[in-house]
């Protein structure tokens, strides 16, 4: 892996790879609108529905962009990745399309739907205890034994560039609606998605502001923006937003996000559950808790509604929809929905 920071040109190149139908193109996910949400927030809200991406999250974008650039020898040796679920599925799907053996190191308590989907895509799964074992060390040992390529979930320039294609699409879709985006709110774990989206958004509109949304207790980006250095979370225990449990921003992602982000929001589990329920009841989509944190920040009133007397135009990324039935039901029940 190179430590060179990706640029907007890399995002454009990734978009070309992901649109190549001979390899199995990524989905151009829709930009959703809701008059109810606009009225409730006092803003014009655009929802980038990455939950409708191949494998149910944005992660396929970066994984495919990384794997598509492997040479024949690297493809034959296979790839190894570590993930609680969405990156696992993205790597497994990309590997299947490209004919590459894939091994995924997953926590034993990962959501069942994510583990099942990863296995069904043909990947080998190696489990670990997230409280006592080091997933990265396990992955690198397996890779060394097999001569395989390690595919990080966020701290890789090709991964970041691939995730940035979601931002490229978002800004083009907004332009098609004759809308100029003021702000973009993006969920973050290690920071690969928001770093890539930031490259695309600021190229299209340098005045636009990008904000990070995280679960309370896992708000390392928010605290890092305040201190000016990479902060760490005090726990890596399982949580409602299982997709957002990175302990600290990545080195490469922070090199981009530390200067590109305008601010951040930490949201409670209660706010996240309300957002999941709102997405189901009002938007008619299923969003996993980690994929709903940006929407939660908006619904909780963390974001300013107006600019110069007019409603702000705010894009919100719904980053994934892979949620267990039990967790989803709990979110609905907490909001007073369901039986």
Residue 336 CB neighbours (<10 A): 9
- Measured between alpha carbons, how far is 171 from 8 in angstroms, rounded to an integer? 13
- Measured between alpha carbons, how far is 288 from 53 in angstroms, rounded to an integer? 13
Residue 336: left if φ>0, alpha if ψ -120 to 50, beta else—which one?
left
Look up tokens 């207790």; give the residue: 217
CATH number of 8-57+157-334: 3.40.50.1100
Mean pLDDT of the chain: 94
- Measured between alpha carbons, how far is 197 from 194 in angstroms, rounded to an integer? 5
pTM of the entire predicted model: 0.94
Whether the Cβ atoms of residue 295 and residue 278 lie closer than 8 Å to each other? yes
pLDDT at site 109: 86
Question: Stretch 30-57: mean pLDDT, rounded?
Answer: 96
Question: Stretch 132-150: mean pLDDT, rounded?
Answer: 94
Question: Stretch 310-331: mean pLDDT, rounded?
Answer: 94
Q: Which value, in Å, is the radius of gyration of the alpha carbons in the chain?
A: 19
- Closest alpha carbon to 318 in 247, 245, 213: 213
Extract the tokens encoding 257: 């996000």
Instruction: Give the pLDDT band of residue 2 (cuts 50, 70, 90).
Output: low
pLDDT at site 238: 64
Domains 8-57+157-334 and 60-150 share a fold: yes
CATH number of 60-150: 3.40.50.1100
Extract the tokens encoding 37: 């949400």
- 253-262, 302-311, 330-339: which is most confident: 253-262
192: pLDDT strictly greater than 60: yes
Residue 224 CB neighbours (<10 A): 22
pLDDT at site 25: 81
Adjacent-strand bridge partners of 57:
320
Question: Stretch 223-230: mean pLDDT, rounded?
Answer: 96
Lowest average pLDDT, out of 112-116, 148-152, 190-194, 205-209, goes to: 112-116
Task: Map out the domains of the chain as residue ranges.
Answer: 8-57+157-334, 60-150
Q: Residue 222: which residues within 8 A CB-CB, separation 6 or more? A: 212, 214, 263, 264, 265, 266
Q: What is the pLDDT of residues 42-53, one digit of tens each?
A: 999 999 999 999
Q: What is the distance in angstroms between the CA of the first residue and the CA of the last residue of the chain?
A: 50
Q: Is 1 exposed, middle or buried (0-12, 13-18, 19+ CB in 10 A)?
A: middle
Is 180 or 23 the better-scoring residue by pLDDT? 180
Instruction: Give the pLDDT band of residue 245 (cuts 50, 70, 90).
Output: confident
114: pLDDT strictly greater than 90: no
Residue 235 CB neighbours (<10 A): 12
Instruction: Give the pLDDT band of residue 310 (cuts 50, 70, 90).
Output: confident
pLDDT at site 270: 96
């Amino acid at each position: 892996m190179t430590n060179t920071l990706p640029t907007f040109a890399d995002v454009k190149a990734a978009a070309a790879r992901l649109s190549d139908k001979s390899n199995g193109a990524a989905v151009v996910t829709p930009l959703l609108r809701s008059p109810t949400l606009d009225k409730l927030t006092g803003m014009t809200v655009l929802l980038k529905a990455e939950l409708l991406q191949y494998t149910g999250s944005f992660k396929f974008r970066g994984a495919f962009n990384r794997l598509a650039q492997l040479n024949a020898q690297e493809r034959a040796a296979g790839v190894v990745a570590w993930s609680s679920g969405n990156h696992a599925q993205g790597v497994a799907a990309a590997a299947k399309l490209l004919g590459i053996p894939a091994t995924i190191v997953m926590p034993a308590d990962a959501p069942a739907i994510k583990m099942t989907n990863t296995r069904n895509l043909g990947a080998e799964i190696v489990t670990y205890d997230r409280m006592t074992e080091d997933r990265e060390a396990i992955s690198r040992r397996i890779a060394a034994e097999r001569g395989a390529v390690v595919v990080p979930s966020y701290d890789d320039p090709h991964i970041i560039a691939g995730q940035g294609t979601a931002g490229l699409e978002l800004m083009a879709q907004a332009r098609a609606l004759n809308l100029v985006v003021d702000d973009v709110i993006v969920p973050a774990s290690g920071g690969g998605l928001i770093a890539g989206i930031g490259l695309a958004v600021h190229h299209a509109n340098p005045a636009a502001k990008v904000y990070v949304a995280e679960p309370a207790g896992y708000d390392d980006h928010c605290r890092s923006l305040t201190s000016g250095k990479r902060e760490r979370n005090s726990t890596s225990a399982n949580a409602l937003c299982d997709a957002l449990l990175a302990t600290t921003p990545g080195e490469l992602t922070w090199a981009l996000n530390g200067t590109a982000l305008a601010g951040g929001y930490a949201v409670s589990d209660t706010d996240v559950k309300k957002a999941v329920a709102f997405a189901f009841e009002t938007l008619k989509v299923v969003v996993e808790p980690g994929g709903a944190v940006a929407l939660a920040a908006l619904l909780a009133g963390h974001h300013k509604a107006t600019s110069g007397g007019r409603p702000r135009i705010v894009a919100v990324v719904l980053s994934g929809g892979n949620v267990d039935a039990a967790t989803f039901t709990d979110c609905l029940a907490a909001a007073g929905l369901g039986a």
